[in-house]
Amino acid sequence: MKTIVTTAGRPTDLTIQLAKNASSKLGLPYIDRQKRTVTQLQQHYQSDVLVAAKSRWEYHGLKSTEPFFYHPSSAMFRLKRVARGEHDPFLDVCQLQPGDSFLDCTLGYASDSLLAAYAVCETGTIHGCEANPVLAFILNEAFHEGRTDHMEFKTLMNRIQIISSDAVTYLKQLEDQSVDVVYMDPMFETSIEESVNISPLRALGIQDTLNEEWVHEAKRVAKKRVVLKAHYTSPWFEEFDFNQIKRPNTKFHYGFIEKAAFNN
């Protein structure tokens, strides 16, 4: 799907420059807003529209009813719970320790990566892959340039390096056993109606399907664990030999493969 770059409805010198900079960086056409609505631009150019607003980026998909913009999603309340000493199922299965390295193969809103950044502390490293280059750009701008209305987790955001690449391509560049935990959450496998907050991401994200090559590369790169999040009915747990952690009354489960299981 083609994407164009423009400004908010009332452009300023700043938003015009931001839009032109994004146009150059992403190799996308810059279009003068000329008081047109986003819908008018979408229909005229048959394109997605990346908008430089005053304090954030908005990504309006031609087939989406609402824009994507960065917000921490479930990380907001999950981090507060963890800080109070409560358990988080994601952290329980990853078993991250201070100083660990973590690769999120499917970054999305980076909610899980923010939890991982909390767990590995300032001595750890977090990398996250986002296959859609425009989404990767928005996340990088939010995390490292302050282009978001949500800066309450700035310290954690600064720990996350965003990789504009699909997971398999990036994994192939890494050395054997070079990352402590490799995490995969191919969210598009099964639509979960309760997850309304990811609907803009669902419309714009790359729809990855877990396959043998992906799992093989994850197992090669992981030093401690490969972790999978998937719908509780997913055949992937059994197909790829993940130990499925069954959680009553939840739509998704976690699974893991220990280092010992694939290094012997």
Residue 32 region by backbone torsions, left for phi larger than 0, else alpha for psi between -120 and 50, else beta: beta
Same domain (yes/no): 19, 137: no
Total tally of structural domains belonging to the chain: 2
90, 125, 131, 190 from 165: Cα distances, Å: 23, 18, 5, 23
The answer to whether 24 touches 5, Cβ cutoff 8 Å, is no
- The domain of 98 spans 75-263
252: how many CB neighbours lie within 10 A of its CB?
Answer: 18
116 and 214 fall within a common domain? yes
Q: What is the pLDDT along the chain (264 residues), one digit of tens a residue?
A: 699 999 999 999 999 999 999 999 999 999 999 999 999 999 999 999 999 999 999 999 998 888 999 998 889 999 999 999 999 999 999 999 999 999 999 998 999 999 999 999 999 999 999 999 999 999 999 999 999 988 889 999 999 999 999 999 999 999 999 999 999 998 654 434 344 444 555 555 555 789 999 999 999 999 999 999 999 999 999 999 999 999 888 989 999 999 865 555
**Does 120 share its domain with 14?**
no
- Whether 68 is in a domain gets the answer no
Q: Within a domain: residue 65?
A: no
Distance CA 58, CA 112 (A): 22
pTM for the model stands at 0.91
Q: Are residues 194 and 98 in the same domain?
A: yes
> Is residue 178 domain-shared with residue 83, that is, in the same domain?
yes
146 and 28: one domain?
no
Question: Can you state the angle between helices 133-145 and 13-26, rounded to 10 degrees?
Answer: 130
Q: Residue 257 falls within a domain, yes or no?
A: yes
Q: In the block, which residue shows the tokens 């390295």?
A: 101
The CATH number that applies at residue 128 is 3.40.50.150
Domain identity same for 12 and 131: no
Burial class (CB in 10 A: 0-12, 13-18, 19+), 63: exposed
Do 45 and 154 sit in the same domain of this protein? no
Same domain, residue pair 154 and 30: no
Examine residue 66 and state whether it is found in any structural domain, yes or no.
Answer: no
Per-residue model confidence as pLDDT tens digits over 242-258: 999 998 889 899 999 99
34 & 98 share domain: no
**Helix, strand, or coil here: 105?**
coil
